[in-house]
């Protein structure tokens, strides 16, 4: 109920701040947009409970598109208010632009800008993620592991707006990399196995030298983590639950470990995320120790456990402005490569998207990570 009231208040704020300063046709368009959005956004969430999945997906599409446009409109409206406040203060000194004219053209600019940004962000979100290549320099890396490649995909969020075709395009792009390992670092799904199994099925076609490995994200626990673990195993994907495998590559050993999401214990106390447990019993002479951990905040525990590399996701890089500013308050690393003691942490911006089909300033990625000997 609180979310509904908050949504209504934010819609009213946008209308209150913009409508009086817009030309009549734009006023009407704004009112219609806000009324439709105020109805569609709640339906997108509550409609997921509908038994008719096709109808539920259509409601989600409409509501998420509305959420993308209105959230962008909200951010630009707030930015406009800051600009108008600064202009009012400056007007005391030198009224260069009449306040009324400034209010009118900025209101129209906010409307046009929100529509342009939403359209641009939609194209960015729906295209197949581009490949990003990152080198990880490791001290004392055996020559046999120099050039070892890991293809990382993360945060696809298969669900109402991301379906089988989208997943198949990702699989095709990953297979073209001919990686040694494929790593899926959580938040694969937003829904139950019974509804999404056909859409996730293309993952069985992933190909690499040593196979595909998966760790849970927080959204797996919202969607039935145990059921999804069983379904992924059926598809030939190895699920790592606070455990490791030892890969023999050209005569050298590599430890690949995975931990559950940091929120796992709230759903199942037996699955508390534990990097120490994940590496327990690993050979001491392994040439590299790599941890798959959905959230970057696992990094401190991973460094203490003696890992060389941690691959994470979760943040989406903020996904779109202005949320890419605020995500830094929730996670130690937002995107890209960082160093903590001896540990390299790479945080993917994600291969899909969550919620609104929108990406601005945080492009999706398929990451090709290459182990190289440190100079």
Residue 94 has pLDDT above 70, yes or no: no
CA distance 56 to 160: 8
Per-residue pLDDT of 312-365, as tens digits, reads 999 999 999 887 778 888 899 999 999 999 999 999 999 999 999 999 999 999
Is the pLDDT reported for residue 50 higher than 70? no
Minimal CA–CA distance to 296: which of 246, 245, 339, 239?
339
| Statement to judge: residues 65 and 163 lie in one domain | no
> Token digits for 204?
């069985």
Give the per-residue pLDDT at 98: 64
Strands 243-249 and 252-258: antiparallel
Q: Same structural domain for residues 79 and 138?
A: no
The answer on 227 and 289 residing in a single domain is yes
Give the mean pLDDT of 183-212.
97
Q: Which residue is listed with tokens 């997906």?
A: 57
Q: Residue 183: beta bridge partners?
A: 152, 213
Q: For residues 100 and 135, state if they share a domain.
A: no
Residues 116-129: tens digit of each pLDDT: 999 999 999 999 99
Instruction: Answer yes or no: are the C-beta atoms of 231 and 204 closer than 8 Å.
Output: no
| Average pLDDT value over all residues in the chain | 93
In 3D space, the residue among 243, 312, 253, 315 whose CA is nearest the CA of residue 275 turns out to be: 243
Place of tokens 């495998």: 245
Asked if 219 and 326 sit in the same domain, the reply is yes
Whether 89 and 211 share a structural domain: no
Domains: count for the chain: 2
Which comes out higher in pLDDT, residue 375 or 287? Answer: 287
DSSP 260: -
CATH number at residue 356: 3.60.21.10
Same domain, 255 and 294: yes
Q: Which domain holds residue 288?
A: 131-373
Please compute the mean of the pLDDT values over residues 82-86 and round it to a whole number. Answer: 90
Closest CA to 26 of 104, 101, 108: 108
List alpha helices for the chain, DSSP H.
2-18, 24-46, 53-91, 99-126, 164-175, 193-200, 218-222, 225-234, 275-279, 299-305, 323-326
Task: Choose the final residue of a domain: 126, 147, 169.
Answer: 126
Q: Is residue 163 exposed (0-12), middle (13-18) or buried (19+ Cβ within 10 Å)?
A: middle
For residue 218, give Cα distances in angstroms to 38, 139, 186, 223, 271. Answer: 28, 33, 8, 9, 12
Question: What tokens were used for 177?
Answer: 């990399």
pLDDT of 220-278, one tens digit each?
999 999 999 999 999 999 999 999 999 999 999 999 999 999 999 999 999 999 999 99
Query: Residue 150 pLDDT more than 90?
Result: yes
Mean local confidence (pLDDT), 183-201:
97
Cis peptide before 56 (omega within 30 of 0): no
At a CB cut-off of 8 Å and minimum separation 6, what does 365 contact? 129, 130, 131, 132, 348, 349, 350, 351
Q: Looking at 126, 147, 166, which one is the last position of a domain?
A: 126
Other Cβ atoms less than 10 A from the Cβ of 143: the count is 11
At a CB cut-off of 8 Å and minimum separation 6, what does 280 contact? none
Give ∠ CA 59-65-66 in degrees, rounded to 5: 90
- Of 85-89, 117-121, 177-181, the one with minimum mean pLDDT is 85-89
Last residue of a domain, one of 98, 126, 154: 126
Q: What DSSP string runs through 299-325? A: HHHHHHHT-SEEEE-SSGGGSBTTHHH
Do residues 112 and 220 both lie within one domain? no
User: Sorting pLDDT into bands at 50, 70 and 90, what band is 93?
Assistant: low
In this structure, what are the phi and psi dihedrals at residue 164, rounded to the nearest 5 degrees? -55, -45
Q: Which residues contact 222 (CB under 8 A, 6 or more apart)?
A: 190
Specify whether 98 is located in the same domain as 151: no
- Do 93 and 64 lie in a common domain? yes
Give CA–CA dist 18/27, Å, rounded: 8
The encoded tokens of residue 215 equal: 């760790």
Picking from 29-33, 91-95, 106-110, which range would have the lowest pLDDT averaged per residue? Answer: 91-95
For the segment 88-92, the average pLDDT, to the nearest whole number, is: 74
The verdict on 181 and 281 lying in the same domain is yes
pLDDT number for residue 101: 76
142 with 7, same domain: the answer is no
């Amino acid at each position: 109920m609180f979310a509904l009231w908050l949504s209504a208040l934010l819609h009213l704020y946008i209308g209150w701040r913009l409508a009086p300063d817009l030309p009549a046709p734009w006023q009407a368009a704004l009112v219609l947009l806000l009324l439709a959005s105020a109805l569609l956004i709640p339906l997108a969430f509550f409609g997921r409970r509908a038994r008719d999945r096709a109808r539920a997906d259509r409601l989600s599409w409409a509501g998420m598109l509305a959420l993308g446009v209105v959230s962008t409109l909200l951010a630009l409206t707030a930015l406009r208010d800051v600009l108008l406040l600064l202009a009012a203060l400056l007007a005391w000194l030198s009224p260069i632009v009449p306040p009324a004219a400034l209010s009118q053209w900025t209101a129209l600019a906010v409307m046009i800008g929100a529509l342009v940004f939403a359209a641009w962000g939609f194209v960015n979100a729906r295209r197949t993620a581009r490949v990003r290549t990152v080198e990880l320099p490791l001290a004392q890396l055996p020559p046999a592991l120099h050039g070892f490649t890991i293809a990382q995909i993360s945060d696809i969020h298969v669900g109402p707006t991301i379906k089988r075709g989208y997943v198949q395009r990702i699989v095709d792009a990953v297979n073209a990399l001919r990686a040694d390992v494929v790593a899926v670092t959580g938040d694969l799904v937003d829904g139950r196995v019974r509804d999404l199994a056909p859409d996730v099925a293309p993952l069985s076609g992933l190909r690499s030298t040593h196979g595909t490995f998966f760790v849970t994200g927080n959204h797996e626990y919202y969607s039935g983590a145990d059921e999804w673990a069983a379904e992924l195993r059926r598809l030939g994907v190895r699920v790592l639950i606070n455990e490791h495998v030892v890969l023999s590559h050209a005569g050298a050993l590599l430890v690949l470990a995975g931990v559950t999401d940091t929120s796992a214990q709230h759903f199942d106390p037996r699955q508390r995320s534990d990097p120490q447990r994940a590496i327990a019993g690993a050979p001491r002479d392994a040439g590299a120790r790599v941890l798959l951990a959905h959230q970057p905040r696992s990094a401190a525990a991973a460094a203490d456990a003696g890992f060389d590399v941690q691959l994470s996701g979760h943040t989406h890089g903020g996904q779109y402005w202005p949320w890419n500013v605020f995500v830094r308050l929730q996670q130690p690393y937002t995107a890209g490569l960082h160093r903590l003691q001896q540990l390299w942490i790479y945080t993917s911006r994600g291969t899909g998207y969550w919620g609104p089909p929108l990406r601005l300033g945080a492009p999706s990625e398929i990451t090709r990570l290459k182990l190289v000997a440190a100079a």
